[in-house]
Chain A
């Protein structure tokens, strides 16, 4: 599973090719090992991936989970659709840490990052109309 097995480990990128602010990546706790392919905003929806029977290591997690029980706790919570912020709040973990762990879990194929449905851009008119309609019905 480690990237080092197949190729050289990627160096941490200070500013990604998409030009995203480095402020969304408080990586100090993990030594910059995350290859941040996932946009994890506070409202981004994530969920666990049901692992096939023949690959129990995806659910059990092995050594990583014994070292970091937080990983398992996140996967447990993700048996339901959750937002990044909800996971952080329910596990009483700092937002930045949860983002890093979620990113790792996504890399491992244990969690799917469903996103927001509208990327990280400002919502478009169609979405704003829907929100307006929804609020009016409250």
Chain B
């Protein structure tokens, strides 16, 4: 059941399936979903960064399904440092995560999870990053400080990450080394310049992350 070779037969099956799943409202169904006798391997990459940095755009650029949103109910004491917190006591918040899916092989599925980057949701990250390959930390050079909490988090837990600078049209283009310096990111951590709307640059960022995760993985 290894379709890694992508034979013409498989290609034919794929296009037929695409037509079948033309409706944007119902998520596309892959072959592995129909076969209940064997489950694929599933793994994930976390996409982190501040509000509006382009996490959902990135996910949508490579996902085979329209990005879905899942919500987690959160109850915890809000922190006084949080600029969104207007109530000092316990708060119940709904945190939304957008995610997408890429079937890499018929028995290998990669999920991409865009996560809220606020400090008070760190406890949720602990849960989300369990078992993940690593994280793409997205940065916008106009609001570079928005990605600081994510960098702090992944550095402190020794989790593989890359920095993906989402270059917005009409803004100053910085070299990767300048961003690296500004962020004090170690030399071994890849810093890539990309455009979240451009699939090839997104794939490139994901490749950089997985290569980096492989570099730091125990032999």
Contacts and interface: CB of A to CB of B under 8 A. Distances in A.
B210 A135 contact: yes
A54 interface: no
B42 A83 contact: yes
B68 A86 contact: yes
Nearest to B105: A134
A106 interface: no
B-side interface size class: 35 or more
Interface stretch (B77-85, B106-114, B138-146, B179-187): B106-114
A43 B211 contact: no
B127 to A, nearest CB: 5
Given A83-B111, A116-B43, A90 B68 contact: yes
Given A48-B36, A122-B131, A129-B214, A89 B69 contact: yes
B91 interface: no
Interface residues of A, number: 52
Contact of A118 (B104, B123, B131, B218): B131
B94 interface: yes
Interface stretch (A1-9, A21-29, A64-72): A21-29
Contacts of B131: 41, 43, 116, 118-123
Contacts of B29: 80
Contacts of A86: 27, 68, 101
Interface in B196-215: 203, 206-207, 210-211, 213-214
Given A81-B40, A123-B133, A88 B126 contact: no
Contacts of B69: 89
A82 interface: yes
B178 interface: no
Contact of A42 (B32, B70, B203): B70
Contacts of B94: 94
Given A45-B109, A130-B41, 17 more contacts: A42-B44, A47-B39, A83-B42, A83-B101, A83-B111, A85-B70, A85-B113, A88-B70, A94-B94, A114-B39, A116-B42, A116-B131, A128-B217, A130-B108, A134-B105, A137-B104, A138-B203
Interface of B: 4, 6, 27, 29, 32-36, 39-44, 62, 68-73, 75, 94, 97, 99, 101-102, 104-105, 108-111, 113, 123-124, 126-128, 130-133, 203, 206-207, 210-211, 213-214, 217-219
Interface of A: 21, 23-24, 26, 28, 41-45, 47-48, 50, 79-83, 85-86, 88-90, 92, 94-97, 114-125, 127-138
